[in-house]
Structures are given as structure tokens and as C-alpha cells.
Amino acid sequence: MKISILIPVNDFDIVALVHCMRDGMEEVPEFHEIIIGDDGSSEEYKKKYQALTGEKVKVVSSEKNIGRASIRNRLITEASGDYLLFIDADTMIRGTAENYLHKWLEYLNSARVISGGILYQDSPPGDPDKFLRWKYGRKKEQKKASERNKHPYSRFSTFNVLIEKSIFSKFRFYEELKQYGHEDTLFSYQLKKAGIPIYHIDNGLLHEGLESNKEFLAKTKESIENLSKLYDNVTDKKTFSMTVSLLRIFWLLKTLNLTRLVAGIFIKFRERMEISLDSSNASLLMFKLYKVSMFCTFREIHRRRKLLPIFNIPPDII
């Protein structure tokens, strides 16, 4: 039994992470290779990744940025392991790599998909401009396995997950999504439809690459747009909605015929909400309203079949 470690990356320094993992692999031989997926990085970073190649480490490069789903699919094709451990580039191990890798082996027979979880630093970042991302991660993403296993598909993330390679003979990550967000949501939905369980364990990695408030809000807009596109394309919207808490709220609002009203709130108050969220006192309740109302706006535009840029909508469209 062999396990491949797959690290998709774009312009991020993973030298310390790869060295740490490679050292841990010396004591846990089941992990036999690290494959770095360079997704259109700059020459500076390409050289850093190439310098890591050698025994147990290789690089798969794309000259241009092809997106999170596409680079993961390329890594899957290149990997020779029976299991694939996906970890994001902006991570750090809490403890030793040896202990981290050993823990996966303890649970190999528990499920074909095993999620390790996401951790955040206990103290807020020194830069208040990154407070929203840290606060959201600590409150919403960092959960014990016992909590995540209550809603295993809703809590799925490709940030730190071990997947049996044979699963990918049935489906891959959806490459039509080129921008950030929700490719793992669709994958979770596919697992649920195929009856493949997800099991969560406490083997988290620290999320180190915190975006600034403005960058996080920009990525949020991209992810909500992706979610709206996925919602259009999936055949079983009810099952898909059960894997995303935001969609469960949307369904309730739709049942109550309130989606147009909520979309109107987004159009009228978007700038004020973004100013409020771009602060060290950002409210997660406000952030939830921001995301739900943005999604309702996308859906209202879709309903009226207006080909208008989402953030340049005239106030009278609702």
C-alpha cells in the first residue's frame, strides 16, 4: 500500500513544508512520493519548486494558471499511490510530520475518504487587515472531528484530505470552475450521490496563508458566483443544497418568497457591509448576511435572465 502526497500551488513558498514532509516520510515509508502541482507560478517560484525535486519529490507544471480543479486532476493522473493525500500549499504542521503521517495510517480502514481538518492559530494575526479571515476560520472551519462527522458532507474540504485513488475512476474535480471556490462542494455532492462516506478525524493542519480582508471578500464573491453556477448545473438541487449551509438558508428564503427582498438588501447596502467587514471588529453574522444576500442576487439575475455584471446592477433591477 502506497500513499502519494499532492500539493497544488501557485506562487507560494512551500520549501519548508516539503522538507518537513520528506523528513517525516523517512519514518513512515507508506508515504512514498510528494508531487507538487505548479499551477502557472512565476519564474521565481518555479525555480524554488524545481530545486525541491529529487528522491521522492517531483513537480508537475502548467505554464498558465489552469485553476484549482484542473491542477488537482493533473496530480491525480501523475500519482502512483493507492491513496492520495491532498494538502493545500499554505499549511503548516502542528507537531511533527512523522506523527501527522502516522495518524492517517490508523484510520485507513475507516473510510475511502478521510478528512483531517483545518486549524488556525489561537491568537489573532498581528495584522488587523487579516482579522476577518482568521475569525471566520476559527469560528466556522476549525471544528473537532466529532462535530464535523454530524454533517460529514457539509464539512468536506480538499484542504487536508486522504482519498482512495480508485474513487477518481468514477469522477474528477469539475474543471469548468476556473476561479476560486466550491469545487470541493461539488465533489462532496458527487460523493454523497455515489453513496461514498466521508469520515472526519482530528489530524489538522494549520492554515497559514491568511488573506487580507479585501482579498477574502474578493474570493468570497468568486466562490458565491461559482456556487450559483453549480446550482444551475446540478440535477438534484435538494441534495446539493443539503451539503451547503448557505443553500439551506436560500431554500428557506425561497419558500418564504423573500429572495428578492434579500437581493435588494445586498444591492442597497453592499458597500456599507464591505466597509464594516473590512475591519478588526467584523461581525460573522454580517458576513453571513453578505454571502446569503449576494447569492440571492445572483439567483434573481438568473431568474430574470439578465446578462448584467453582478456588481454593476442598477438599483431598479429588483
Q: Are 127 and 227 in the same domain?
A: no
Average pLDDT, the chain: 90
Q: Are 18 and 90 in the same domain?
A: yes
Q: Are 169 and 242 in the same domain?
A: no
In this prediction, residue 316 has a pLDDT band, given cuts at 50, 70 and 90, of very low
Q: Are 186 and 45 in the same domain?
A: yes
pTM: 0.90
CA distance 153 to 185: 8
Instruction: Give the per-residue pLDDT at 314.
Output: 37
Q: Are 113 and 142 in the same domain?
A: yes
Q: Are 223 and 201 in the same domain?
A: no
Domain end marker among 185, 210, 235: 210
CA distance 223 to 229: 10
* All cell numbers assigned to 107: 484510520
Instruction: Give the per-residue pLDDT at 236.
Output: 87
Q: Is pLDDT at 121 greater than 80 in this prediction?
A: yes
Q: Are 94 and 230 in the same domain?
A: no
Angle in degrees, CA 310, 236, 88, rounded to 5: 65
What is the number of structural domains in the chain? 2
Q: Are 43 and 158 in the same domain?
A: yes
- pLDDT digit string (tens) for 247-270? 999 999 999 999 999 999 999 999
Q: Are 274 and 312 in the same domain?
A: yes
* All cell numbers assigned to 292: 446569503
CA distance 266 to 295: 9
Phi, psi of 103 (to 5 degrees): -65, -35
* Ranges 49-63, 88-102, 219-233, 304-318: which has the least confidence: 304-318
Phi, psi of 78 (to 5 degrees): -80, -25
Q: Is pLDDT at 24 greater than 70 in this prediction?
A: yes
Domain end marker among 176, 210, 244: 210
Domain boundaries, position 269: 216-317
C-beta of residue 224 within 8 angstroms of C-beta of residue 294:
yes
Within 10 angstroms of residue 274's Cβ, the number of other Cβ atoms is 15
Domain end marker among 210, 245, 264: 210
* Ranges 162-166, 253-257, 303-307: which has the least confidence: 303-307
Q: Are 45 and 146 in the same domain?
A: yes
CATH of the domain at 82: 3.90.550.10
